[in-house]
Amino acid sequence: MKAVSAERKVELVALREPAPAAGEERPALRRIGRLRWGLAAGGVLLVIVASAVFAPWIAPHDPLAVNIRHRLAVPAWMEGGTAAHFLGTDQVGRDLLSRMIFGGRVSLVVGVAAVLLSSSIGVLLGLGAGYFGRRTDWTIMTGVNVMLTFPFVLLALAVIAVLGPSLVNMIIVLGVAGWPIYARVVRAETMAIREREFVLAGRALGMSHLRIVFRQIVPNLTSAIVVIATLQVAQVIILESFLSFLGLGIQPPTPAWGNMLGEGRVYMLNSWWIATFPGLAIFVTTLMINLMGNALRDWLDPHMKL
Amino acid sequence: MGRVVASGSALLLALALVAPAEVPAQTKEDTVVYAIQSDMQNWDPPNSVLRESIILGYHVFDHLAARDVKTGKVGPGLAVSWRNVDDTTWEVKLRQNVKFHDGSRFTAGDVKATFDRVLNPENKLTARGNHTKIKGVEVVDDYTVRFKTDGPYPLFVERLSALVMQSEKAIKEKGHEWMQENPVGTGPYRLLKWSKKQEHLLVRNDDYWGPKPAFKYVRVRIIPEQATQIAELMSGGVDVIKAVPPDQMDVINKSGAARTSTSPILRTAFLQLDQAGRTGKNPFQDKRVRQAANLAVDIDSIIKHVLNGLGDRTATTINPMAFGFDPSVKPYKQDAAAAKKLLADAGYPSGFEVGFLTTAPIVEPALPQTSEAISADLAKVGIRTKKRYVGEVGPYVNLVRDGKADPMFEWSWGYYSIFDADAILYDVMRCNEPYSYYCNQALDDLIIQGRSTLDQKKRAEIYTRIQKLVYEDAAYLFKWGLRGVWGISNRIEYEAPRDEIDRMFLVTARKK
Amino acid sequence: MRSYISRQLVQLVVVVLGISLLAFVILHVLGDPVLLLLPQNAGKEEFERYRHLLGLDRPLYVQYWKFLSGAVIGDFGKSWYADTPAFRLVIERMPPTIYLTLAGLLVALLIALPLGILAALKRHSWVDSLCTAVAVAGQAAPLFWLGIMLIIVFAVRLRMLPASGYGTWRHFLLPSFCLGAALAPITMRLVRSGVIEVMNMEFIKTARAKGVAEPMVVVKHAFRNACIPVITVLGLQFGQLLGGAIITETVFAWPGVATLTVESIRNQDFPVVQCAVILLALVIVVVNLAVDIVVAVIDPRIRTGA
């Protein structure tokens, strides 16, 4: 599997800031700079998450309330806009701001749930592969290769085709499709740690496999898992919005940023706000998650282990 | 490994052939580009209910009678004259010196072969229902045909404009399968190339018996997304698009590259309610529930605000432009309280949940928005709809045909461009018709009566009775007659067609 | 070298088999084709008859064998919607997808290479920060949103390019730019990391010490060595590239395999979905293999397992 190690090496190189050479200035300061961005991003993210959680209280209108007399109303700052509908209304008169806030709920729920699912599956399988080695390892890694070879998107599409679009199905699909990444990293780390002294000591003392795995190995993995999971949430959100955009995800009238973009697409040339704001929401949320994830990685694991 | 080699070589071969080398280069000046949202499944018009089939059929085939676009009256086509020999026999004289695209002469034999094929129940052609009143077709001589009808048949001439004449040679020698992809007609264009789900290329028939089309090529592009169609129209990639959503009309008109043109069309929209129980037991089998549904929705408001006024309210499924329409039958007036009471009487005091099958806005513009508005009104009286979406027309129509729709679903009907109430009643409101989810023996009897007499006054009376019955029984959830909105490029002269049939062979370039 | 290639080939076969199994499981076990083909009120005997006709009453492994043996000779069954062989439909639509993917790759490289090198050379300067910032932002932007924006600006407003479709070189510009721009951020970071790492290596310092001019150092030594990780990851990213192509195709109505798959999913036309999934997997795996071989040829360390 030599090609695997080459590719892994490249992944390490690619996604990390390379170690400073001797004589390079101020690496520590650079780290702190990154962390500052991460904190700021985290702050913004907190606001987004809070608005999603407290949606029923802070949304000015019912996101499902159809009012065709006020359809296609412009945002408040434009001519003809009213404060009642700060971001305007959509094609059947529903308040856009309220729909955006509730749409955030869907995106975040799907993101977090799917990532919880894929990390659980991935970590367990990665532990199994790394710890028990040989045949278990080979089976699981082949599974990883099979799934990694394949574009996430197509896999998700194919499964949704069969199961039908719904919130639960999306979480299942996105969750199950995302485990390989965790498995791969966890496996590598497990294999490294497995040979360390304290583990060997544990075996000598007669500790059961389960205890070794969960008491000694897993704690060393948490930072890696947290970082990957954070970055994955962003990817899942984008994927979910694409599926909803295609009509294969969350179905209207339930607001989701993706399906709002899809419905608003035909209005881009006149009532542009219907699609633009959800698009912006996806962009900002994803950006914040990426920034925070990068900063987390720098902070938790500055030594290229990931 | 074999698969790798096989697929690999196939892939290489495909890559090598990718350039559309067989198709002649068309220039912008000699090509008019027409966009449709959904591809047809075959090039055999009697075997399809899709509007695209009918429209493209007009380009490659001819009919015995043809509607004059300006006057709306049906006049000669491939037939030059007709008369009643007696109450149940019509004699038709055919045009001479007409050639099919394969060079063979058009004669009475082709007419007989076409009708025989359509009327044969074993062939299961969808057009059959339109022509069941014709019992037999007789060849008198090369250019004279006699039709025997099952009783008096007032719609005979109208219906002659709805069946394309196909080549006897193709029917007898090549067979059904071949005809699905290879149309042999007498029309102003012939099919040069069909890239499934992408485009059709038609080339002018220079031996055409009628007026020569101005454009040598017609490119029919299949563009499923409305947003893309509009973008293409405004950027010059397409010359004619149809079913423009009312909301986008101002964008097109302001663009300077294109304009919109509207016309009332025969197409009538409504929601079918499964009174016949084809999808199983459901609340709509009770008349009170159906009436409640009609009372719950403020249709006038939807037409005004969502369609920007581009719709003509109908009390039943009969279009104001069709013969038999009676304006004295007034539509349901919205009354949510009365609706709730009816539901309570029927045993649903807290309402009920019901499946609602919907589709993409392919023939009905603004369908998603009007659907939402209707669902919202229904929900207010307790009818909670659960939407099921099937985006492609073909599968949607098949689901309906096979009885696999939901108890409530979107439907519209173009009347086959026949301006007569019978054109919708027979196929969409009779018992056991594939596209009908309503069954009422009294209505069936009236429908048969309506198509069995040649006395127009008597027919009008019958259709008034039908409308009263259909209204009172709230057979479906009635909506409106559509107003078609076309988007037309400013480089061509073209107007919205009243019969919803785009005729690219009438398009001319605009003088600068 | 031979053993390396044969090992890779074995892996290829295993992966493709794995994917075919996955596709089979998804479509046969999770969905019920008969339910979709027959009308609801068809009697029980009809169901049984169809089941027998389609061979669905045989045990699963028999069905899988039948499916596999058919697939090997290119027989994936007939499309349920269009009544033509699924294989033919998919193969016909392959070339546009492949061309788009390659064009997107080209654009990504055109953007990422110069920027990545620039950022690497001017590391820690404002140029570097800007490039990185743009890259992070670029990774967050949803691809389909970008596509829609491009169509509006270039096709509708400026009327410079066609809004959709396939045919001339003009039709390639917007979609490949969209796809390339989506892939450029991560590519740029790869290039940057690769160049930085290489620049810090011993042989560069040797070259400098020997008095070789700086531009020569960059081009001749650093760049060529940095290519290795970049090529490897790009090759491995081919799967992701294809995923991006799927989204791009949908927005631009590109007549490729992706739009065919999405349509077939909407129509529940399973033979076509199955065929498309497997053939795409095959393409990805073959490309991965080719990249592996190329890299092995260039980098002797991998071959001999250093």
- DSSP string of B199-264, one letter each residue: EEEEEE-TT-SSPPPS-SEEEEEE---HHHHHHHHHHTS-SEE-S--GGGHHHHHHSSSEEEEEEE
**What pLDDT does A155 receive?**
75
Tokens of C257: 């395999």
What percentage of chain A exceeds 70 in pLDDT? Answer: 87
Q: Across the strands, what pairs with B485?
A: B262
CA torsion sign for B57, A266, C244, A145 is: negative
How would residue B343 be classed by pLDDT, with cut points 50, 70 and 90?
Answer: very high
Report which of residues B511 and B350 the model is more confident about: B350
**What pLDDT does C305 receive?**
43
How would residue B492 be classed by pLDDT, with cut points 50, 70 and 90?
Answer: very high
Position C36 pLDDT exceeds 60: no
Average pLDDT score over residue span B486-508: 92
Q: What is the DSSP letter of A151?
A: -
How would residue C216 be classed by pLDDT, with cut points 50, 70 and 90?
Answer: low
What are the pLDDT digits (tens) for B151-180? 888 888 888 988 999 999 999 999 898 999
Average pLDDT score over residue span A40-66: 92
Chain B nearest-CA residue for A264 = B227
Left if phi > 0, otherwise alpha if psi is -120 to 50, otherwise beta: which for C77?
left
Position B425 pLDDT exceeds 80: yes
Position C64 pLDDT exceeds 70: yes
Q: Report A:70-89 residues touching C (Cβ under 8 A).
A: none
Q: Residue B509's closest CA among B241, B269, B216? A: B216
Q: For strands B408-413 and B258-273, give the pairing.
A: antiparallel
B37 at interface of A, judged by CB pairs closer than 8 A:
no
Q: Across the strands, what pairs with C179?
A: none
Global pTM value: 0.81
Average pLDDT score over residue span A254-277: 89
Residues ≥6 apart with Cβ < 8 Å to A46: none
Contact (Cβ atoms closer than 8 angstroms) between residue C245 and residue C172 = no
What are the pLDDT digits (tens) for A24-39? 444 555 666 667 878 8
Q: What is the ipTM of this complex?
A: 0.75
Asked if B227 lies within 8 A of A263 by C-beta distance, the reply is no
**What pLDDT does C222 receive?**
61
Report which of residues B31 and B361 the model is more confident about: B31
**Pairwise CA distance, residues C296 & C294, whole Å:** 5
What three-state secondary structure class fits B282? coil
Tokens of B508: 């001319």
Position A162 pLDDT exceeds 50: yes
**Pairwise CA distance, residues B464 & B446, whole Å:** 10
**What pLDDT does B371 receive?**
93
Average pLDDT score over residue span B435-460: 91
How would residue B261 be classed by pLDDT, with cut points 50, 70 and 90?
Answer: very high
- H-run or E-run covering A120: helix A96-132
**What pLDDT does C35 receive?**
59
**What pLDDT does A295 receive?**
83
Report which of residues C134 and C61 the model is more confident about: C134
How would residue A22 be classed by pLDDT, with cut points 50, 70 and 90?
Answer: very low
Residues of chain B found within 8 Å of residue C267, distances taken between Cβ atoms: 392, 394-395
**What pLDDT does B141 receive?**
93
Least confident of A142-156, B6-20, B179-193, B244-258: B6-20
Least confident of B137-146, B222-231, C160-169: C160-169
Average pLDDT score over residue span B249-263: 93
Q: Report the mean per-residue pLDDT for chain B.
A: 89
Place of tokens 């090509």: B31
**What pLDDT does B460 receive?**
94
Report which of residues C15 and B211 the model is more confident about: B211
Contact (Cβ atoms closer than 8 angstroms) between residue B294 and residue B332 = yes
Q: Which of A161-165, B33-37, B497-501 has the highest mean pLDDT?
A: B33-37
Residues of chain C found within 8 Å of residue B256, distances taken between Cβ atoms: none
Residues ≥6 apart with Cβ < 8 Å to C224: none
Chain A nearest-CA residue for B307 = A68
Position C174 pLDDT exceeds 50: yes
**What pLDDT does A209 receive?**
73
Position B255 pLDDT exceeds 50: yes
Tokens of C291: 């990249």
Q: Report the mean per-residue pLDDT for chain C.
A: 76
C159 at interface of A, judged by CB pairs closer than 8 A:
no
Tokens of B204: 């002018």
Chain A nearest-CA residue for C5 = A3
Residues of chain B found within 8 Å of residue C73, distances taken between Cβ atoms: 2-3, 6
**What pLDDT does B173 receive?**
93
Position C181 pLDDT exceeds 70: yes
Q: Residue C35's closest CA among B404, B435, B358, B434? A: B404
Residues of chain A found within 8 Å of residue C101, distances taken between Cβ atoms: none
Position C190 pLDDT exceeds 80: no
Contact (Cβ atoms closer than 8 angstroms) between residue B115 and residue B134 = yes
**What pLDDT does B82 receive?**
93
Instruction: Tell me the nearest-neighbour CA distance from C254 into chain A, angstroms.
Output: 15
